[in-house]
Structure 1
Amino acid sequence: MQAEGNYDEPPLFTADGQAALEQWLAENITYPTNGFENGLHGKVTVRFTVEPDGSLDGIEATAYDDAALAAEAVAALHRSPRWLPGRKGGEPVAVTVTLPVSFRNAIRPKEAVFAAGDSQPADFMGGGLIAFRSWVMSNLEYPTAAYDNNIEGTVVVHFVIDTEGCLTDTHVVASPHSSLTREVLRVLRMSPQWEPARQDGKTVMFRYSLPVIFSMHGTTSGAYTRIGSPTW
């Protein structure tokens, strides 16, 4: 990230700086569905001004490898919380920032990823997808911020079980709110080891798509157990 202008202290996403910004982007950028399926990746350079009140203004993509990636990077930054503004002489000032945003589809082009019908599916704790659904349900919590603001809807996430049985390459392709996105990603990061899928006796990567439904009907914030039907 590069800052431009007359300042003593540059603006920061939070007091934790670049690491917090990268984490927020990872949790809030939605990889375009066609881009994920087609292995699309690249970099988008975004330029914007952090105003004295910490809001972002004039967000635009100034360079990019693909228009869909550029649109998503800009859309994500429009959802950004307020930053810590830059300062000059101890007073907050407007500072223009240039930020590179990378989209990386971690699945290597020459490494095949299989789906249902192509191979023996990956297995979770001896119970397959049913067992995984139960595990997700037992760990999912309804975010307090979403509950207090009557936010509900479906988060759709793609992920891959790699040849070692690790859940990886998670990409949220639809979500009504960032707090629900963060909760789904939090749970998926906790996933125990799977038994990897097999094709012709060899372990292979296997892709799933999982819709997670958050509905406020008959529930409270905290422990929550409603989930949609996963697909391959």
Structure 2
Amino acid sequence: MKRMTMIQALVALLLMLCPMTISASTAVNANATNQKSHKVYEMVEEMPMFPGGQKEMMAFLSKTTKYPPEAVKKKIQGRCLVQFIVEKDGSISNVRVMSKVHPLLDAEAIRVVKSMPRWMPGRLKGKPVRVKFNLPVTFSLG
């Protein structure tokens, strides 16, 4: 009789733990899917593209960039490398300067990149994904 009660208690305990195992498994799977969707790629089948292509992007940069007057006065020039993420919806995020020139020029490069219109997102296996992009921005007084 005692043995039967012990078996019943063990079965009851197993039945109570079963939903916890299923629930934990579901949470782990959801977290793995979430991490996968937040992955940032450096190279994909279809790289992100500025609307209209590279020629339009150069025109946008030329039109939008305002050389800081103080940098002109001090004759500061150079090329900074701006890194950002093109999101799945084409928006720009995580803008930062990887190769700095001068705080005035770096800030202007960031401002210009943040003001860009939505890009055509990068794609992997036909689906939009987040892609890291590096863009050199040149400041020249010549």
TM-score normalised by structure 2 residue count: 0.68
Match of 2:77 in 1: 152
In the alignment, which of 113, 119, 122 is matched to residue 48 of structure 2? 122
Paired with 2:50 and 2:97, the residues of 1 have a C-alpha distance of 21
1:130-163 deviation per Cα after TM superposition (whole angstroms, max 9, x unaligned): 3222211211111101010111111111011000
Please, which of 99, 104, 115 is the counterpart of residue 179 of structure 1?
104
> Which residue, 35, 40, 51 being the options, matches 1:113?
40
Aligned CA-pair RMSD: 1.8
- Looking at structure 2, the residues matched to 198 and 177 of structure 1 have their Cα atoms a distance apart, in angstroms, of 34
Would you say the 8 A contact 1:161–1:207 is kept in 2? yes
Letter in 2 for 1:121: M
1:211 aligns with 2:122: no
Structure 1 runs, 4 residues or longer, greater than 3 Å off: none
Distance 2:58 2:35 in 1: 29
**2:53 & 2:129 partners in 1: Cα distance?**
16
- CA offsets per residue over residues 141-196 of structure 1, 9 Å max, x none? 11101010111111111011000110111110122211101111111111111121
Quote the Cα distance in structure 1 between the aligned partners of 2:54 and 2:131. Answer: 12
Corresponding residue of 1:6: none
Confirm or deny: 8 A CA contact 1:122 1:198 kept in the other structure: yes
Q: Could you tell me which residue of structure 2 aligns to residue 49 of structure 1? A: none
Relative distance call for 1:179 and 1:109 in structure 2 (3 A) is: farther
Letter in 1 for 2:42: A
Query: Is the Cα contact below 8 Å between 1:122 and 1:128 reproduced in 2?
Result: no
- Tell which structure's C-alpha radius of gyration is larger: 2
Tell me the TM-score normalised to structure 1 length. Answer: 0.43
**Which runs of 5 or more structure 2 residues have no equivalent in the other structure?**
1-33
Tell me how far apart the structure 2 counterparts of residues 128 and 161 of structure 1 sit (CA, whole Å): 15
**Distance in 2 between the 1:159 and 1:213 partners?**
16
- Give the superposition deviation at 1:109: 6.4
Where structure 1 has 5 or more consecutive residues not aligned to the other structure, the ranges are 1-107, 218-232
Greater relative contact order (Cα < 8 A, sep 6+):
2
